Amino acid sequence: MFAARSTPEFYAGKRVLVVGGSRGIGRSLAMTLARRGARVCIAARGEADLWTVAGELREATGRRHGHAVIDVTDAEGVLRSRDGILDELGGLDVLVCGSGSARAACVLDAPIEVFRRMLEVNYLGHVNVVRAFAPALMDQGHGDICLLSSIVAFVPIYGYSAYAASKGAVVAFGESLRQEMKLHGVRVGVYYPPTTDTPGLAEENRTKPAVVWKIESESGWNRVYSADAVATSIAGSIERGLVHGMIGFDSWVMRLGQRLAPGLFRRIADAEVRKAMRIDRDEHHEPVAGFPRQEPARRGRGSPRSRSGG
Ligand SMILES: NC(=O)c1ccc[n+]([C@@H]2O[C@H](COP(=O)([O-])OP(=O)(O)OC[C@H]3O[C@@H](n4cnc5c(N)ncnc54)[C@H](OP(=O)(O)O)[C@@H]3O)[C@@H](O)[C@H]2O)c1
């Protein structure tokens, strides 16, 4: 794991809001920062999970941490929750936009509602949270905003059109936001989790198309990270003020490959799709609709990209 280095002091006494902090990466990040001395408030929709995690945070640190029920797709609801959260924390130093969900489906198979929902939760959800809480950071003239995107934002692979588009929107939003916030002394970072073992990934896997499964399982780069390892890396990236934070060695390789040799990168990725299609067709003993038989592809290394939904 390529983790940005972190010092124990940076988070001591910091007031941190982790949206999406009741499960998965957000939960691990809340725990990591609380253990480093931060005062944390976690926010999500499900109150039962929030209570459980708030209890775990208290047990781990011996200090009380807050929680708030919010739905990031409800802009007005997020705004209404703002004063209560700021009172609870006593202000704000670090804002983590960590909510999100993924759905893998091909463009023509997914109902348009999937495209809408991905944008509403993954993109507009971050926008709603930033619009509500950024003024608190701007007024005090310092602070950090952390936006969780995904590795598929720069490697948008087969079956992830709706999700990748929503995560790509986060990247563009974050870059623009960075310039605006810089004028107020507030730092903005966009971080790119790779495939991470979380309840969200388990949920995504329940409806994943067979071909996407095969692309992933045949890929030489489909490493699955633990939520704690990803959280440790994000904690370090926030501290260092990284504008873009890759997580894991393979993410760096993919990023470089895609930047330096995009044509080659695409050919390798396309070969992986063809291979997955062939395996799927052979298993079902029938041609795959819309995908003509291909000549055997040269056997090589896996594509330099991992499946990353979540
Ligand atoms: N896991 C991966 O492989 C992976 C890879 C790349 C990027 N990511 C990104 O990393 C972030 C966390 O992913 P994860 O896998 O840890 O997800 P997860 O296990 O499903 O946790 C998602 C968290 O977000 C909250 N949430 C979801 N929808 C919400 C909404 N509308 N309003 C408020 N809170 C909401 C959930 O709580 P409630 O459901 O109770 O609201 C939960 O606390 C997401 O942005 C995801 O896209 C994950």
Q: Which two tokens stand for residue 204?
A: 């995504």
Query: Residue 132 in contact with residue 79, Cβ under 8 Å?
Result: yes
Q: Which domain holds residue 125?
A: 15-207+223-259
Ligand 1, residues 73, 101, 233: which to mutate, most atoms within 8 A of Cβ?
A: 101
Of the candidates 126, 137, 138, the one whose C-alpha atom is nearest the C-alpha of residue 14 is 137
Report if residue 191 sits inside a domain: yes
Q: Any residues with CB less than 8 A from the CB of 259 and at least 6 apart, and which? A: none
Report if residue 216 sits inside a domain: no
Report if residue 283 sits inside a domain: no
The residue contributing the CA closest to ligand 1 atom 44 is: 100
Q: Per residue in 289-298, pLDDT tens?
A: 444 444 433 3
Q: Strand 66-69 relative to strand 94-97: parallel, antiparallel, unpaired?
A: unpaired
Average predicted confidence (pLDDT) for the chain: 90
Q: Which two tokens stand for residue 293?
A: 């038989």
State the chain's maximal CA–CA distance in angstroms.
Answer: 64
Q: Residue 103 CB: number of other CB atoms within 10 A?
A: 20
Query: Residue 103 in contact with residue 110, Cβ under 8 Å?
Result: yes
99: Cβ below 6 Å to ligand 1? Answer: yes
How far is the C-alpha of 46 from the C-alpha of 24, rounded, in Å? 13
Q: What is the share, in percent, of the chain residues with pLDDT greater than 70? A: 89
Rounded to 5°, angle at Cα 155 from 144 and 5:
40
Report if residue 79 sits inside a domain: yes
Out of 163, 191, 192, 225, the active site residue is 163
Direct distance between the N- and C-terminal alpha carbons of the chain, in angstroms, rounded to an integer: 18
The residue contributing the CA closest to ligand 1 atom 17 is: 200
Q: Per residue in 128-158, pLDDT tens?
A: 999 999 999 999 999 999 999 999 999 999 9
Ligand 1, residues 42, 95, 99, 204: which to mutate, most atoms within 8 A of Cβ?
A: 99
| Structural domain count, the chain | 1
CATH code of the domain in which 87 resides: 3.40.50.720
Report if residue 304 sits inside a domain: no
Side chain identity at 6, as an amino acid letter? S
Expressed in angstroms and rounded, the spacing between residue 200 Cα and the centre of ligand 1 is 6
Expressed in angstroms and rounded, the spacing between residue 136 Cα and the centre of ligand 1 is 24
Element (H, E) at 147: strand 143-148
Report if residue 70 sits inside a domain: yes
CA dihedral defined by 258, 264, 268, 270, rounded to 10 degrees?
Answer: 90
Side chain identity at 87, as an amino acid letter? D
Report if residue 90 sits inside a domain: yes
163 is catalytic: yes
How far is the C-alpha of 310 from the C-alpha of 9, rounded, in Å? 31
Q: Per residue in 214-241, pLDDT tens?
A: 888 877 777 899 999 999 999 999 999 9
List phi, psi (to 5°) of 41: -125, 125
